[in-house]
Amino acid sequence: MSRNRFSLYSAILIALLAGAGSVAARAQSQAQSSTPSAQDSTQNQQDNQDPLKRQLSDKERFKQQKELRQEIGTAYKKWLDEDVRWIITDQEKKAFMSLSNDEERDAFIEQFWRRRNPNPDSPENEFREEHYRRIAYANEHFAAGKPGWMTDRGHIYIAFGPADSTDSHPSGGNYERPVEEGGGETSTFPFETWHYRYLEGIGENIDIEFVDSCMCGDYHMTIDRSEKDALLHVPNGGETLYEQMGMAKKADRFKGGLEDLGPGPDSSTNQSKEFDRMEQFAKLQAPPEIKFKDMDLASFLSSHKVLNGPFFPFEVRTDFVKVTDDTVLVPITLQIKNRDITFTTKDGVAKGDVSIIGRISTITDRVVQSFEDPVEAGPYPAELLPREMDGAELYWKAFPLRPGRYRIDIAIKDVSNPDHVGVWAQAITVPRYDDDHLAASSLILADKMERVPSKEIGAGSFILGNTYVRPRVTTNPASPAMFHRNQSLNFWMQVYNLGLDEKSKQNNARISYQILNTDTNKSILDTQEDSKKLGASSDQLTLEKTLPLASLEPGKYLVKISVNDDVTRQQIAQSAPFTVE
């Protein structure tokens, strides 16, 4: 409790006790001059015992309300407007402003931090400690005539943490534009570009640019990359490549649009991404997503407590896809069968709701990634619900992780049946793809695989690169994926670190595809492909194949992909079982 609040409460208590003493004195004087009725005596005793029942005058009541508003304006207003300004949601802020007393506000603040705590049952709150550390860092490093937490750099640092890499130009000066900005040389104001490999709820490979156009140390966030150009409005100054070659005029830059970049080879690409940049900017201004909103469900992850109700079954699949030399994308796919979900029917429509919460932690129990999302089953017309019971709902989330060992904990809850909870935990080893070793991603068997539009590349569920890949999920990795004869078998795999011939600068590998009937041990399909047909100059290939299953008899099968690299004399193989019904 703050010193101001303690002083206020003390003053109110003293005033109330003084008033109570005055009432008691008047009651004793009246008793000496007259004999009150039994009812009056009882009422006086009750009033004396409860001084809070004393009626306040209008002046006293207004004074008390003013003091209360002043108290809120110091302790709680600072917490609201400064401490949590960049992380509190609009709904939370509205709820806090509607509270009527300090007890409710204190309870709200405690719950606010607890909802964001990666370990809710721990007396220490890692999120809160890290949050105030970020505020202190921002105040120390980003102050510019105002506290660092008020600046744009402070805002982003507090909300999302330190960037994975920073390109800083504190003095501005000469700048060679990249092709996507028009090329050519110019002079710039001081600027910084912060790069995040991944931000929850925003996406992958996020670049945020800050420009100090006032030359006063106050860097502001911008989505206009031309804003750092100090020669932008200088005639014939800082021309782009096209402008230098006479293929464009500098005046043409200012004809509207999000950015005043000069025309260049990538002009059309820049224009197509304007809405994406605006959407990203809006997301960066919003508070970060709240983790562990379902505290009851989160407690199953932190304490691994025994389930009280019937177990809620679900299957999980994990895959590994190389992103960079030190980053691997780990897609996690959950499958929840409709027959295990509690459906509710309203107005002839049936639907079910499931809450999912999970975390990825290191072997030292440090949480590195977390997620929490709802999954909706349906809605289905009520009369068709029995037919949908054999179906399933899929949930997909992909996380960039460094090579190493991790533990994945996941809990799900049936919203319409809160005691129906399921938990899953597993240790994984994220592989390291060394440059000198031929390697491959997971071999994914999918029931649906198709190209996606360019605007959807790298975004959305089940999207790997430029392909939508929806995997078949089984109870464990060794269990065969199940397909029907009227379906197609789709498989997806990437090959990494192919050797390139020193003279031709091309790869030279043979890729073999086999389908084996494991019941008879006979080969159903055996074909080969030359790596040059998939990308002669690339050391990485994506293998995508589709096989109709109508010609296969029901039974157990195995798909096997082998890669023989004639340049490095290395070979690898991946296989996955499946059944046909």
* Interval 293-302: pLDDT, tens: 565 566 666 5
The long-range contacts involving 525-532, CB below 8 angstroms and separated by at least 24 positions, are 531/495, 531/498, 531/507, 532/506, 532/507, 532/508
Give the number of other CB atoms < 10 A from CB of residue 437: 12
Same domain, 257 and 327: no
In sequence order, the β-bridge partners of residue 401 are 328
* 138 domain-assigned: no
Q: What is the CATH number of the domain that holds 531?
A: 2.60.40.3880
Model pLDDT, residue 49: 45
Let me know the angle formed at the C-alpha of 490 by 488 and 491, rounded to the nearest 5 degrees.
155
Last residue of a domain, one of 226, 253, 285: 285
367 or 136: which leads in pLDDT: 136
Of the pLDDT bands very low, low, confident and very high (cuts 50, 70, 90), residue 370 is confident
Same domain, 569 and 447: yes
- Which of the residue ranges 43-47, 58-62, 228-232 would you say has the lowest mean pLDDT? 43-47
Does a cis peptide bond (omega within 30 degrees of 0) precede residue 379?
yes
Same domain, 317 and 270: no
Same domain, 211 and 343: no
Over residues 3-11, mean pLDDT = 40
Model pLDDT, residue 478: 80
* Interval 117-160: pLDDT, tens: 877 656 678 889 999 999 999 999 999 999 999 999 999 999 99
* Interval 316-343: pLDDT, tens: 999 999 998 889 999 999 999 999 999 9
Q: Pick from 88-97, 105-114, 519-528, 560-569 the range whose average pLDDT is largest.
A: 560-569
Exposed/middle/buried for 356, CB within 10 Å: 0-12, 13-18, 19+? buried
Cα–Cα distances in angstroms (integers) from residue 553 to residues 172, 377, 383, 516, 549, in the given order: 69, 33, 34, 12, 8
* Interval 426-472: pLDDT, tens: 999 999 998 889 999 999 999 999 988 877 776 678 999 889 999 99
Cα–Cα distances in angstroms (integers) from residue 473 to residues 315, 327, 393, in the given order: 7, 24, 11
Same domain, 451 and 408: no
* 465 domain-assigned: yes
* 396 domain-assigned: yes
Over residues 369-388, mean pLDDT = 89
Which is it for the CA torsion 61, 65, 66, 71, positive or negative? Answer: positive
Model pLDDT, residue 488: 92
Same domain, 479 and 576: yes
Residue 448 Cα to chain centre, angstroms: 26
User: What pairing do the DSSP bridges indicate for beta strands 570-580 and 481-483?
Assistant: parallel
- Which of the residue ranges 253-262, 333-342, 410-419, 572-581 would you say has the lowest mean pLDDT? 253-262
Would you state the structure tokens that stand for residue 307, as one six-digit string? 């389930």
Structural domain boundaries enclosing 419: 292-432
* 328 domain-assigned: yes
Model pLDDT, residue 213: 93
* Three-state secondary structure string covering 516-562: EECCCCEEEEEEEEECHHHHCCCCCEEEEEEEECCCCCCEEEEEEEE
* 439 domain-assigned: yes
Last residue of a domain, one of 262, 285, 308: 285
Same domain, 418 and 498: no
Q: Which of 386, 388, 377, 380 is nearest to 347 (CA)?
A: 380
CA distance 29 to 36: 12
Last residue of a domain, one of 250, 269, 285: 285
Structural domains counted in the chain? 4
Model pLDDT, residue 116: 84
Q: How much of the chain exceeds pLDDT 70, in percent?
A: 81
Residue 13 Cα to chain centre, angstroms: 48
Same domain, 247 and 345: no
Q: What is the CATH number of the domain that holds 343?
A: 2.60.40.10
Same domain, 576 and 438: yes
Residue type for position 539: D
H or E element at residue 32: helix 3-33
* Three-state secondary structure string covering 452-473: CCHHHCCCCCCEECCEEEEECC
Model pLDDT, residue 294: 60
CA distance 541 to 496: 7
> What is the chain's mean pLDDT, rounded?
83
Q: Which of 161, 163, 165, 185 is nearest to 175 (CA)?
A: 185
* 501 domain-assigned: yes
Model pLDDT, residue 8: 37
Would you state the structure tokens that stand for residue 109, as one six-digit string? 């603040």
Same domain, 200 and 330: no
* Interval 178-206: pLDDT, tens: 888 888 899 999 999 999 998 888 888 99
Of the pLDDT bands very low, low, confident and very high (cuts 50, 70, 90), residue 367 is confident
- Which of the residue ranges 213-227, 406-420, 437-451 would you say has the lowest mean pLDDT? 406-420
367 or 309: which leads in pLDDT: 367
Let me know the angle formed at the C-alpha of 425 by 423 and 429, rounded to the nearest 5 degrees.
160
Same domain, 444 and 567: yes
The long-range contacts involving 306-312, CB below 8 angstroms and separated by at least 24 positions, are 307/421, 307/422, 307/423, 308/419, 309/417, 309/418, 309/419, 309/420, 309/421, 310/419, 310/420, 311/421, 311/422, 312/340, 312/412, 312/413, 312/414, 312/420, 312/421, 312/422
The answer for residues whose C-beta is within 8 angstroms of residue 190's C-beta and 6 or more apart is 169, 170, 171, 172, 211, 212, 215, 219
Over residues 213-237, mean pLDDT = 91
The answer for residues whose C-beta is within 8 angstroms of residue 213's C-beta and 6 or more apart is 189, 220, 227, 228
* 213 domain-assigned: yes
Over residues 246-273, mean pLDDT = 73
Rg (CA), the chain: 33
Same domain, 472 and 427: no
In sequence order, the β-bridge partners of residue 480 are none
Of the pLDDT bands very low, low, confident and very high (cuts 50, 70, 90), residue 10 is very low
* Interval 84-104: pLDDT, tens: 999 998 888 888 887 778 888
Of the pLDDT bands very low, low, confident and very high (cuts 50, 70, 90), residue 51 is very low
Give the number of other CB atoms < 10 A from CB of residue 215: 11
Model pLDDT, residue 319: 95
Instruction: Give residue for tokens 């491959």.
Output: 440
CA distance 94 to 96: 5
* 155 domain-assigned: no
